[in-house]
Amino acid sequence: MHRGKRQRIVPSLTEYLLNIWLDPSTTSNSIEGLYRSASRHNVFKLEFTVDDIRNFLSHQSTYKRHLGFNLQYKQQKHTVVPGALVKWQMDLADMQNSAEYNDGTNYLLTIIDVFSKYALVIPLQNKQGQTIARALGYIFRIKINNKAYKPMILLSDNGKEFIAKEVKQLSIFQYTEHRGILMP
């Protein structure tokens, strides 16, 4: 039996960074954080740069999924609303990329009361007009203190799902004015 000195196996840079990235004791939730943690724990004397870290993280699905968006919008004028249940804004959030993790939910119908900022979210399988009308009908049947929970004005973009015949009919039946906003 050979009782010599044990050889230390040097991992590849990807393996090393993956071990640091997955270690909950390190603060490696950003490019800079992973670079600091990897530099601090670098017992194998591996050489790497911030660009190596950026390249490694660009291949990690969890990093890409939680990466923020840097979008800038023009500030809009203030909306004056006299009270709750006067004006609601609605839109669809596209969740098709994560539908397999969310029981097949492809879209989220999001509705916000402009006055109170109270939000409602309804998961949807598709974005057909009939599905949108069914979700709105469900919301309009809600009663709070024996009062129907529905707006006087319902705003949305001019998507086919919102200007569908079923949604228009429901708005008329519920005495709710539905306005499509022209989006640039």
> What range does the domain containing 22 cover?
13-65
pLDDT at position 25: 78
The answer to whether residue 23 is domain-embedded is yes
pLDDT value of residue 27: 67
Which pLDDT does position 74 carry in this prediction?
Answer: 65
Is 44 domain-assigned?
Answer: yes
What distance in Å separates the CA atoms of residue 168 and residue 133, rounded to the nearest whole number? 8
Residues 102 and 168 in one domain: yes
- Domain-embedded: residue 74: no
Is 142 within the bounds of a domain? yes
**For residue 73, is it within any domain?**
no
Q: Whole-prediction pTM value? A: 0.57
| 104 lies in the same domain as 165 | yes
Clarify whether residues 138 and 173 are in a common domain: yes
CATH assignment of the domain containing 133: 3.30.420.10
92 and 61 housed in the same domain: no
Inter-residue contact 177 to 152 (CB < 8 Å): yes
Lateral strand order in the sheet of 119-124: 119-124, 107-113, 87-94, 153-157, 177-181
Give the per-residue pLDDT at 2.
56
Within a domain: residue 1? no
Helix (H, G, I), strand (E, B) or coil at 88: strand
List the beta strands (DSSP E) in the chain: 87-94, 107-113, 119-124, 143-144, 147-148, 153-157, 177-181
Cβ proximity of 155 and 181 under 8 Å: yes
Residue 77 lies inside a defined structural domain of this protein: no
pLDDT of the residue at 180: 83
Q: What is the pLDDT of residues 81-130, one digit of tens each?
A: 888 889 999 999 999 999 999 999 999 999 999 999 999 999 999 999 99
Question: Tell me, what's the pLDDT at 58?
Answer: 86
Confidence at residue 110, expressed as pLDDT on a 0 to 100 scale: 96
User: Would you state the pLDDT for residue 132?
Assistant: 96
Pairing of strands 107-113, 119-124: antiparallel
Low-confidence ranges of the chain (pLDDT < 70): 1-8, 27, 68-76, 182-184
